[in-house]
Amino acid sequence: MSRNRRRGTAAAVVSAPAEPGRTASEIEEIEPFPRFDVVSDHSDHYFHAATQSIPAETLTKIMQEWKLLEQHLPESITVRAYEQRVNLLRAAVVGASATPYHDGLYFFDISFPPHYPTQPPRVHYRAFGYRINPNLYSGGVVCLSLLNTWHGKRKSERWNPTESTILQVLLSIQALVLNERPYYNEPGHGAFKPGTSGEKKSFAYNEEIFVLSCQSVLRLIKTPPKGFEAFVAWHFRDRARAILQACEAYANGRVRVGYFREGVPRGPSRVAVPEKFKQSIKRLYPELYQAFSQDGASLAGLSKELRLDETPRRGNPPPAPAGKGKKGLVVKVVGMVKKFLGLK
């Protein structure tokens, strides 16, 4: 992976700013990858074969997008551009906490059309054949009003050549697509209402999505996207313990899918766990454990096989945990999206 990034034609060495009480080297050990960087190998990019000449005015706009990404990407989104194909980008989005996507990595290949920004960018999701969201198809199609691949309810939600950006697209995917109740992203499912049949279907959908996300984790570890090999290994070494602990908590009905928190003690109540979901997690858990172990994750104290409670009790699901101190990632990202969209 390249350790240089470029602004226009000028290269600059990447270094993380030191936080209070920490040296720059300590920060590098904690998160050793820049959020925006330029790499050389684009051979596995979904749009790599679609070569088109890029007009000078489009190239200028693309350089502006690079600068915006360098300066404003949140810590949960990482982007790579390409030296020889400046019209291509690849983004890795970390699934936010309090969603069924937590601790996962979701990759998107992006292409700037020749007449960008008059036309919106093209975006392809690296799906591995799994449909993990109503807006993300198993073939990689991303259905989003901001990309003009969905009509949207309001004109302000669609691509605006004078205001819309790649950063806005990525923030929208993270906050509005990979959200806590993706079941309601599907047109016709209405709005969330507690205690309804829709809520039960939403719980079941989150269980299905979590299983597919775990399967995606295994595929990513085996075949990481080029330019992100070290990043994928580092991310799952860092999050392996949380993912395995969540698998155990969900399979035993200690908490609803999406509500897991590390270090939260077991409560007396239980939620009903469908046998199909339990067996899926039981099958995936040892595969995840082995994959994480081979990647060097520290898993001391965790079992190699899923531990199931013998007599789980059923009860009402606990409410989603309230944020403490700073706002949660989802709240912050939604706020950023609304700011970009000009919504109150």
Residue 214 among the catalytic residues: no
How many other CB atoms sit within 10 Å of the CB of residue 247?
22
Tokens linked to 115: 């007449």
| AA letter at 90 | R
d(C-alpha 78, C-alpha 231), whole Å: 9
- Decide: 272 and 314 in contact? Cβ < 8 Å: yes
Q: Which residue has the tokens 């709005």?
A: 191
- How far apart are the C-alpha atoms of 333 and 339, rounded to whole Å? 10
**Which residue stretches of 223-274 are H helix?**
229-251
Q: Catalytic: which of 1, 27, 59, 143?
A: 143
**Cα separation, 52 vs 54, whole angstroms:** 6
Beta-bridge partners for 110: 89, 123
Place of tokens 């999050």: 239
Q: What is the b/e burial string over 311-323, where b = at least 16 CB atoms within 10 angstroms of the residue's CB?
A: ebeeeebeeeeee
Q: Which residues are catalytic?
A: 143
